[in-house]
């Protein structure tokens, strides 16, 4: 080779054989080199036995996909650049003009925004159903319903629905059901085996997971996954994934791979601290209501207990409080501002505790019957010592005096 620039590009390289290490390698590629033109023509991008282009998969992303299938009990997985991209991929893949999608009223807000924005503009209708009333779901399913979204626990208000009954209804009516499984994270319950005794297995058709939260665990990666057990459903989703160009970068995939081994430990630590803090808040007169599925008077507690009370009885590290009407919105904002360990910021699942006040009235069709009137604040409990977090929650209450 005459020129060093050419030599550096064509420098021979063989991946290390016999190199076993705990962590999978990071393989970065847009281009994947074929041995010859015939191979290029014969390799099918849909077939995971061959690599064709970085967007369709690399050894790093395939490894992450396999581990996520193991986590959630699925068989096929797609990776996307965010949890919301994963939600959108499901909708765009399964819905056409004239179809209808059903969404729980307490769903993750941008899922509803997608329905109200792009889906509506393309002639796809949506209806919101009461997540705490399976009969409302049953009554809402119509001839044009092609997709039902489920979420457990619900975003922000954390009601735990009767997931098994709702899946049973969808199956009986032949409608595809997709669960936003970010809260459960594959640890609180098994989305594809909700009732293991029922044969064939009773479970969701699709599990969507914002890996941005607990799987990444650092508050520094955006990624989502779509997991299935049915190869034809997966292929439909995969074709949309390819046409939208929704691949993920190898460094981000590696960050999630690196965090997965500590996922269960972290989830348990978030859970334990959140339960302790939620119980403490319940003992305080400043809060009208505390929302956490493991609290006996939290909406849907019995469903949470029935589904999640195996092993250590898992719940994520989220809880919300409702400040009564005697405190103004400005006072509640001042409370959030006064917190020092709980930082003000969106998302959850990372090591740092977070707090967000929500304008719930603007997010729901009507104020939910099971919620006290007031101002809702959601806490995402990080990995700090629970005693420090409790002291922080307590010291900020002083702004409410006077
Ligand atoms: C329940 C739930 N689903 C999905 C998402 C979307 O995840 P991402 O931020 O990666 O788009 C979020 C983000 O907050 C969420 O809370």
| Pair 288, 324: CB distance under 8 Å | yes
How sure is the predictor about 310, in pLDDT bands with cuts at 50, 70 and 90? confident
Average pLDDT, the chain: 95
Q: Is the CB of 222 under 6 A from ligand 1?
A: yes
SS (HEC) of the chain? CCCHHHHHHCCCCCCCCCCCCCCCCCCCCCECCCCCHHHHHHCCCCCCCCCCEHHHCCHHHHHHHHHHHHHHCCCEEEEECCHHHHHHHHHHHHCCCCCEEEEECCCCHHHHHHHHHHHHHCCCEEEEECCCCHHHHHHHCCCCEEEEEEECCCCCCCCCCCHHHHHHHHHHHCCEEEEECCCCCCCCCCCCCCECCCCCCECCCEEEEECCCCCCCCCCCCCEEEEECCHHHHHHHHHHHHHHCCCCCHHHHHHHHHHHHHHHHHHHHHHHHHHHHHHHHHCCCCCCEEECCCCCCCCCHHHHHHHHCCCCCCCCCEEEEEECCCCCHHHHHHHHHHCCCCEECCCCCCCCCEEEEECHHHCCCCCCCCCCCCEEEEEECCCCCHHHHHHHHHHHHHHHCC
329 is written with which tokens? 């919105």
How sure is the predictor about 1, in pLDDT bands with cuts at 50, 70 and 90? low
Nearest Cα to Cα of residue 154 among 132, 176, 173, 122: 132
CA of 345 to the centre of ligand 1 (A): 13
What average pLDDT does this structure show over 268-273?
Answer: 97
CA of 398 to the centre of ligand 1 (A): 32
pLDDT in tens, 174-197: 999 999 999 999 999 999 999 878
The alpha carbon of residue 228 and the mean position of all alpha carbons in its chain are separated, in whole angstroms, by 15
Q: Return the C-alpha torsion angle 392, 395, 397, 398, nearest 10.
A: -160
pLDDT in tens, 366-381: 999 999 999 999 999 9
Ligand 1 atom, smallest distance to 107 CA: 1
What average pLDDT does this structure show over 228-232?
Answer: 98
CA of 45 to the centre of ligand 1 (A): 29
Determine how β-strand 176-180 pairs with β-strand 206-210: parallel
pLDDT, residue 19, reads 86
Q: Quick check: 389 pLDDT over 90?
A: yes
What average pLDDT does this structure show over 75-90?
Answer: 98
Nearest Cα to Cα of residue 293 among 370, 201, 218: 370
How sure is the predictor about 312, in pLDDT bands with cuts at 50, 70 and 90? low
Closest residue by Cα to atom 9, ligand 1, is: 83
Nearest Cα to Cα of residue 103 among 56, 148, 49, 154: 148
pLDDT, residue 198, reads 82
pLDDT, residue 174, reads 97
Q: Quick check: 13 pLDDT over 80?
A: no
How sure is the predictor about 272, in pLDDT bands with cuts at 50, 70 and 90? very high
pLDDT, residue 360, reads 95
Pocket test for ligand 1, best of 79, 180, 182 (most atoms within 8 A of CB): 182
Nearest Cα to Cα of residue 287 among 226, 371, 361, 346: 371
Q: Is the CB of 176 under 6 A from ligand 1?
A: no
pLDDT, residue 311, reads 58
The better pLDDT of the pair 148, 8 is held by 148
Using CA atoms, how far apart are residues 35 and 40, in angstroms rounded to an integer? 8
Could you give the count of Cα atoms lying within 13 Å of 192 in the half-sphere of its Cβ? 18
Phi, psi of 115 (to 5 degrees): -65, -40
Q: Is the CB of 189 under 6 A from ligand 1?
A: no
Q: Is the CB of 252 under 6 A from ligand 1?
A: no
What average pLDDT does this structure show over 289-304?
Answer: 97
pLDDT, residue 205, reads 98
Q: Is the CB of 109 under 6 A from ligand 1?
A: no
């Amino acid at each position: 080779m005459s020129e060093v620039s050419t030599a550096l590009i064509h420098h021979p390289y063989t991946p290390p054989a016999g190199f076993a290490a705990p962590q999978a390698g990071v393989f970065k590629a847009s281009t994947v080199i074929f041995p010859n033109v015939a191979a290029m023509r014969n390799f099918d991008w849909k077939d995971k036995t061959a690599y064709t282009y970085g967007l369709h998969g690399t050894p790093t992303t395939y490894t992450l996909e396999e581990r996520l299938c193991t986590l959630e009990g699925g068989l096929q997985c797609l990776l996307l650049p965010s949890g919301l991209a994963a939600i959108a991929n499901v909708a765009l893949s399964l819905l056409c003009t004239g179809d209808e999608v059903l969404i729980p009223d307490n769903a993750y807000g941008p899922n509803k925004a997608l329905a109200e924005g792009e889906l509506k503009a393309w002639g796809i209708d949506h209806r919101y159903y009461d997540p705490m009333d399976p009969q409302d779901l049953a009554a809402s399913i119509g001839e044009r319903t092609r997709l039902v979204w489920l979420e457990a626990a619900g975003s922000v208000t954390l009601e735990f629905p009767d997931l098994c009954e709702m899946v049973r209804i969808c199956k009986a009516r032949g409608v595809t059901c997709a669960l936003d499984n970010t809260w459960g994270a594959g640890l609180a319950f098994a989305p594809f085996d909700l009732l293991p005794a029922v044969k064939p297995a009773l479970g969701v058709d699709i599990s969507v997971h914002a890996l941005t939260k607990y799987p990444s665990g650092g508050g520094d990666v955006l990624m989502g996954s779509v997991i299935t057990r049915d190869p034809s459903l997966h292929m439909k989703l995969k074709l949309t994934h390819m046409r939208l160009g929704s691949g993920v970068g190898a460094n981000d995939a590696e960050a999630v791979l690196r965090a997965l081994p500590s996922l269960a430990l972290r989830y348990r630590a978030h859970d334990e601290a959140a339960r302790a803090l939620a119980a403490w808040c319940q003992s305080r007169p400043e809060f009208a209501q505390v929302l956490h599925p493991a609290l006996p008077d939290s909406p849907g507690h019995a469903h949470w207990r029935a589904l999640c009370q195996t092993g250590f009885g898992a719940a994520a590290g989220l809880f919300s409080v409702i400040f009564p009407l005697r405190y103004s919105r400005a006072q509640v904002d001042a409370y959030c501002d006064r917190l020092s360990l709980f930082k003000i910021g969106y998302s959850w699942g990372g090591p740092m505790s977070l707090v967000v006040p929500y304008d719930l009235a603007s997010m729901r069709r009507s104020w939910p019957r099971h919620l006290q009137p007031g101002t809702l604040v959601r806490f995402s409990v990080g990995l700090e010592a629970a005693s420090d977090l409790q002291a922080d929650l307590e010291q900020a209450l002083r702004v409410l005096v006077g």
